[in-house]
Structure 1
């Protein structure tokens, strides 16, 4: 860092800018840093052709072109050595003062690449590692190399505890995700009674997201005559799509459930829906839940999932589901759909609480992390 310039050059490293929560967080953080005068670069293993999210033009984009499939263990070792070399060369070529990496394997590679360099290195865990298996080799490497990070950034106290117990991390800093309201979104969402009777869910179509549980729960509430007119829209794509379509058919929900695919304007669906259900079996920090709260939806999710109870105070701004099964989830969904007084009150409170996670509230914590300032 030049002595006359108090703002360091910052580089963010992530494998892709595809349609995921971590990728969206990278774009949001890069945008926030750039707006505050930081020379910011985003490095990706992938090329821009696979991007879902777009970076604002002032942010420098470097395509490392490292998304090579390994056919066997020897090829995997060679490819990862090359990744380490390319990351290291890029850090030096860009004269980065601070490097922030995202996601487990990328974190390990970045720490190995930056070893011995003078830059400050932060690594960010974006999912609950207690429930996300990375394989024995990557898990062992994570335990060993995390000691070389200046700080590990996590999103919830639950993940912070796991990192302290299971790695050699020297310092762990908790920074929740922040909410960047999309352009055009109203400051005050429409009241629920003005919206159609629609339940919204969103995420990768993967077992982790629990859409199979959601479909079972929805089939249970559809047996209630008073909720027969309700519909369910699930946004996202992934390898479970065919299985979910088959489940919809078996449950005879074809007329009331739609798999909507990926949407660049998910917020519009949330603003039009009454209820949002987070059915995930595990998360890091559920961005999509925070966005639904900001959109003024009545929300529910499983209590034991990381980040959910950080956002939802049961009975105040949403409902926490104590047991991870379809019947328990159905009970909470039924309350949100059928009790308009309760759902309206929860939705209003959810929107109010979500404003605590705006860019201007959370970004100062990232600025402190970039500069290595104590959390207090």
Structure 2
């Protein structure tokens, strides 16, 4: 099968990582290309047999969009792909316009929750353009219920795990992790308030990530004397997962939550706010709490650290559920849809 993935960039992001993971796996038995619209080198490693396409970049925003559409249309007609897969809404709009009237099949994908903050014009464009796609993939049942009103061929497609080998049964410390971008959507200040509530607990609180809220969070941590260790972005997050007993997600919006899958592979108990993504991933193998409820989150962390029987039961269930997120299983589902 000849497959083209289209994405804005291949920098350090969740959707970008999903694109590369799927492309690498599918390229073993298929002809795979990726078209991206920036000049930066990919952050994630691509298999050598994947063709990477970088169109010309124009200074004028208007000319840039027009050229992207015309170049993409010409490429698809010339190369005769069996299927095109587009990632994220702005790219979805561009690809749909480029493929109007073509016979090549198009799958568009959403990688954020439908109710996440967006510019005012995004929602009307989705209702206008998304019906033209042959299929639309979303990350959760909540998103499915919304998007199937726009495109009847909407299906749930979970993100694959990015961990090659599970590290179950390793020695653990009383370490509580936050891993993610330091932006308002992730609500990272809640993690600092939780750490402040649990200062008397014999535990270490570590925040991994960077973003626009970094200075504000450093100031909050210092003013409360919360004791959170803020280490910024790290290349090897797995070394922290191996040590941690708990991963915390405090997000206000989360389409899926890749860290909640990664943590499963390292025997970290997941405690998360009730985002659509977390509710899709966590069942009997983690703890869901109300949005911005510092007291509830604090009590959940305290319970997991003090009750090893409860912690082991959650981990046992997580190990049973992990396989459904494997790259092989997710890629198999993608192939079924493509065919």
- Native 8 Å contact 1:126 1:155 kept in 2: yes
Rate the CA distance shift 1:323–1:281 in 2: closer, same or farther, 3 A. closer
What is residue 265 of structure 1 aligned with on the other side? 236
Q: Deviations over 1:176-231 (max 9, x none)?
A: 1121423xx4x44234xx21221112111111111111111111111x3xx1x311
Instruction: Report deviation, 1:156.
Output: 0.9
> What's 1:374 paired with?
none
1:25 partnered with 2:2 = no
Q: Cα distance, 1:150 vs. partner?
A: 0.2
Query: For residues 9-51 of structure 1, what are the alpha-carbon distances to aligned partners after superposition, in whole Å with 9 as ceiling and x for unaligned?
Result: 101111111111111100111012112x1100111111233x3
Q: Confirm or deny that 1:278 pairs with 2:249.
A: yes
* TM-score normalised by the chain length of structure 2: 0.94
**Deviation string, structure 1 residues 148-182 (Cα, Å, up to 9, x no partner):** 100001111111111123x3x13111111121423
State the match for 2:4 in structure 1: 11
Q: Secondary structure at the match of 2:35?
A: strand
* CA RMSD between the two structures: 1.8
Determine whether 1:53 maps to 2:44.
yes
Contact 2:167 2:242 in 1 (8 A): no
The runs of 5 or more residues in structure 1 that have no matched partner are 1-6, 69-74, 372-376
Q: What TM-score comes out, normalization by structure 1 length?
A: 0.85
1:362 aligns with 2:339: no
Matched, 1:334 2:302: yes
Residue 38 (1) aligns with residue 55 (2): no
Residue 213, structure 1, aligned to residue 190, structure 2 = yes
In the TM superposition, residue 349 of structure 1 has moved relative to its aligned partner by 2.0
Residue 231 of structure 1 pairs with residue 201 of structure 2 = no
1:181 matched to 2:179: no
1:278 CA drift (Å): 1.1
Contact residue 295 and residue 351 of structure 1 kept, 8 A: no
Question: C-alpha deviations, 1:60-98, integer Å up to 9, x for none?
Answer: 111235496xxxxxx544432222223223323433221
1:324 Cα deviation from its structure 2 partner = 3.1
Aligned pairs (5 A) from 1:1-376: 7=1, 9-35=2-28, 37-49=29-41, 51-64=42-55, 66=57, 76-133=61-118, 135-165=119-149, 167=150, 169-182=151-164, 185=165, 187-191=166-170, 194-222=171-199, 224=200, 227=201, 229-253=202-226, 256-303=227-274, 305-313=275-283, 316-371=284-339
Contact 2:256/2:281 (CA < 8 Å) preserved in 1? no
Q: Equivalents in 2 of 1:22, 1:48: separation in Å?
A: 16
Structure 1 stretches of at least 4 aligned residues deviating more than 4 Å after TM superposition: 65-68
Are the aligned partners of 1:297 and 1:347 in contact in 2 as well (CA < 8 Å)? yes
For the 8 Å contact 1:41–1:59, the answer to whether it is kept is yes
Aligned-partner SS, 1:196: coil
Q: Contact 2:270–2:286 at 8 Å: present in 1 too?
A: yes
Aligned-residue offset at 1:123 = 0.2
